[in-house]
Amino acid sequence: MDILKFESVALDEDKNLLRLLDQTKLPCEIEFLELQDIHDIWNAIYKLQVRGAPAIGIAAAFGSYLAALNIDVNDFESFFEKFHAAKEYLNSARPTAVNLSWALNRMEKIALDNREIEISEIKTLLKNEAIKIKDEDTQMCRKIGELGLTLIKDGDGILTHCNAGQLATSKYGTALAPIHLGRERGMNFHVYCDETRPLLQGARLSTFELIADGVDTTLICDNMASQVMKNGWVNAVFVGADRIAANGDSCNKIGTSGLAILAQYYKIPFYVFAPTSSIDMNIKNGADITIEERPSEEITEMWYKKRMAPEKVKVYNPAFDVVSNELIAGIVTEYGIARPPYSESLREIFERKNTNG
């Protein structure tokens, strides 16, 4: 199965269900989940069956629409009370990726802005908005990919962390979008994928989709990145982001900040790729970002036939870390590439976005 030809998150309009590629089963099994119940969708987000900030937002938008379908009342106040509760419940699944709340807030605004019409019509508008969020994501990824291609040339070596590719979005990805677009145009790159402990998104997911696209791909352990850079094999580091502060501090999968520090030492440009929906202009800097802490079993047991650590050992398992803005060469968005100082350039990006609608 060609991974670039199917959707990892989609709405089945005929059956009124959310169809997800279960990313916890990759690369060994390709299994799709068909979900209607809001609790199952919450679990899919929390358990990383759907992951990647844009994909989480899309799944949540479809999830809130499906929740609305199950609200059987005729007056707006009763409908909105239940709809808002469903929205808040979905929003609690993961605290760090801003796309989750961004998408759900968009859906809630549709309901609030149309309180005077029939509930059935509101439900139709909610479906249309969720589909629009997904379609916009596809367009965004392509724009980001085009801009990213201006930063590299044919034959370059690129190091990436976690998975910010097609599996994490509707199409192409963010940090991997330039690679996929380049392949469409006959370009060749050598991509080094950090395995990305503890959940191995690089090993299981990025390598999976890159190999499917015919990309020359090498898997490395996270602690091998310095040696690969020292060997002169890396021309740029491309990573995604789950939330970016107004000053450019960027939160991404744990281990990303260490890569940025290494890249600065070896004088390799470090780029962050993210849609404007992942930029939170309401937070001043990275210190204001809530870092999700995951269950200890992801480190001690998840990938082993037998537990590999003593029962009584303490485990610290933060899902993300924050890259300081001074380590970032550029932040690639669908409205342009922001450069330091980010407090100014990100504001300009949003002015451009607001002007272009």
Domain count, the chain: 2
pLDDT (tens digit per residue) in 111-151: 999 999 999 999 999 999 999 999 999 999 999 999 999 99
Q: Summarize the confidence of residues 178-185 as an average pLDDT.
A: 96
Assign residue 334 the CATH number of its domain.
3.40.50.10470
* Catalytic residue (one of 137, 156, 194, 242): 242
Same domain, 114 and 153: no
Which residue among 140, 172, 205 closes a domain? Answer: 140
pLDDT confidence band for 7 (50 / 70 / 90): confident
Contacts 24+ apart (CB under 8 A), 205-208: 205/23, 205/26, 205/27, 205/163, 205/165, 205/167, 205/168, 206/160, 206/162, 206/163, 206/165, 206/176, 207/27, 208/3, 208/26, 208/27, 208/167
Q: What are phi and psi of 56, to 5 degrees?
A: -60, -45
Report the predicted TM-score, pTM, of the whole model to 2 decimal places. Answer: 0.91
Same domain, 218 and 76: no
Same domain, 89 and 74: yes
Which residue among 140, 163, 185 closes a domain? Answer: 140
Other beta carbons less than 10 A from residue 1's beta carbon: 7
Residue keyed to tokens 């992801």:
298
Same domain, 184 and 234: yes
Same domain, 152 and 192: yes
Same domain, 65 and 191: no
pLDDT (tens digit per residue) in 304-329: 999 999 999 999 999 999 999 999 99
Which pLDDT value is given to residue 318? 97
pLDDT at 1 over 70: no
Mean of pLDDT over the chain: 95
Same domain, 158 and 282: yes
Share of the chain above pLDDT 90, in %: 93
Same domain, 109 and 183: no
Q: Summarize the confidence of residues 176-202 as an average pLDDT.
A: 97
Q: Summarize the confidence of residues 189-195 as an average pLDDT.
A: 98
Residue 163 is part of which domain span?
142-356
pLDDT confidence band for 2 (50 / 70 / 90): low
Residue 33 pairs in a beta bridge with: 20
Which pLDDT value is given to residue 243? 95
Which pLDDT value is given to residue 98? 82
Same domain, 297 and 151: yes
Same domain, 184 and 318: yes
Is 213 in the active site?
no
Same domain, 324 and 182: yes
Q: What is the C-alpha to C-alpha distance for residues 270 and 122, in angstroms, rounded to an integer?
A: 44
Q: What is the C-alpha to C-alpha distance for residues 152 and 178, in angstroms, rounded to an integer?
A: 9
Same domain, 169 and 305: yes
